[in-house]
Structure 1
């Protein structure tokens, strides 16, 4: 089942049997009103949820223990997790750090973490952050760039001028 504001873009590996196109919250509310019994998780789904919870707890412990002089990427991701709640949009440049963010940072809504993933787009995080803020000025936006992203941002000095204004 595909529930979205836009119709599904059908691909070879994604062909939904049913599409409900429209306001997602209203659609889910109407669907939930039609459920007349308590939903019970399958053993497999319950196991997956327990596993996810254990992974989050492990991340917490490992991130807190990594306090040596050099900053371990997991420690940074752990610190970021404290500020990335449902009200924050995160834009991420390419670099080895994006793998740590993609693997270990939990997000809470669709399109909350924006990563170009494989497109090798260094310097894209800042213009994306500006765009995300322009779309929703009430929402906080965090842009993450590594050492390779900063020179790329220099080429796009107009992005900084746009952000300043």
Structure 2
């Protein structure tokens, strides 16, 4: 049975930034790398051609990132979170985590660049523990190391970025 892939919430600006990166990597960047490989091939013996191997490594890195971007964008959920006070992707959560206060966006970690707020994935232990809760709720979650952390949800509001 095929595993269902969950949608990952992100802002429109983050989606647009990732889409632009994909266009750059599949267009000009890919073309430039292909030119580097062709030039290095013309130099002769490929076994000892550092330029050729460097260009091939660069090509591999670029193609891997293209696949990552395509997967992220394919499963992106872009838009506004409902203002119902429930912790869901797209909401800014203020919580007391252990003894410290934190404020973060629940959304895709792949798209957190430039948001000026910490982003936690709904699949992360903290994010998963808070899903479906509201201000005033107290929950616990286990860290990957097995430690139990107590969390109190202080406030929940839609992201306005």
Q: Which has the larger radius of gyration?
A: 2
Higher helix fraction (1 or 2):
1
Higher strand fraction (1 or 2):
2
Q: Which has the higher contact order (CA 8 A, sep 6+)?
A: 2
Q: What is the TM-score normalised by the length of structure 1?
A: 0.23
Q: What is the TM-score normalised by the length of structure 2?
A: 0.23
